[in-house]
Structure 1
C-alpha cells in the first residue's frame, strides 16, 4: 500500500539569486532550508515543500496552486510587488473555489485559489495552524 507522508514540487529558474528573491516576495518570507548553492526550499504547510532550483525552467509547467484567504488582495499585492501581469479570477457556480493562474518571470505556472465559503477555509486551516485566521 502506498503511503504518502510529504510532497515536494520543484520549479527551476535560470538565475538563483533573482529566482530566490522573487519567491521570497511571493511567499512573504525567506526559505526554510538552503542546503547548497543554487537550491532553496520553503515548507508551505507541514510536509508540503516548494523547491526553487537553478536550472533551465520547464516551459508551461504547473500550475502550482496556492490556497489563500483573499484572492483579490493577493492579486493586487502580486501585481504591485512583483509586476505580475494582470490575470483573471475565474469562478463557476458548481465549483467551490474561485481561482486564477499566472506565471513567474521564467514561465513556471502559479495559481491562487480561494474557497467561496469562509467556514470551509477555516475548516481547512485549523488542522494546519491550530487556530482560526482573521
Structure 2
C-alpha cells in the first residue's frame, strides 16, 4: 500500500520573527511565499516541501533542517553573494556533500548534495 503522505513542512522555531524571517529571505533569495497568520512565514522549496519560520521562544534554536540541492558549490556561491557564509564542505565519498550554517537563533540549516552513483 502506498503512503498517503503528500507534503512536508519543516518548522523553524524562533524568538525574533522579524529578524529571523529577514535572515531566511536573504538565505533563500526571496521573500516568503506565504504569510498565513501573524508571525508565521513560509517558503515553498519544492513541490510539496515548505520551510516555515514561526514564533516559539521555548524551542528557538533547537532545530536542524536539511535542504537538498542539485549543486552545493552553486548554493555556496548564492549564499556568499547574499553575505551569508556556509561552513566547510563535508564529503561522504559516493554519498553526499554537505555544508551547514546556523541562523541568528542557533537553528542549523544543512545544504546537502547527493553525489551517489546514478544521481
Where in structure 1 are there 5+ consecutive unaligned residues?
121-134
How many aligned positions are there?
117
Aligned counterparts, 1:1-134, within 5 A: 2-56=3-57, 57-62=59-64, 64-79=65-80, 81-84=82-85, 87-95=87-95, 97-116=96-115, 120=119
Change (3 A) 1:103 1:44: same
The structure where helix makes up a greater share of residues is 1
The Cα of 1:82 is off from its aligned counterpart by: 4.0
Relative contact order, higher structure (CA 8 A, sep 6+): 2
For residues 57-97 of structure 1, the C-alpha deviation after alignment (integer angstroms, 9 at most, x for no partner) is 443421x122223322322443453444x5111112242x2
RMSD: 2.4
Where in structure 2 are there 5+ consecutive unaligned residues?
none
TM-score calculated relative to the size of structure 2: 0.81
Would you identify which runs of 4 or more consecutive aligned residues in structure 1 move more than 4 Å? none
- Cα distance in 2 between the residues matched to 1:69 and 1:94: 15
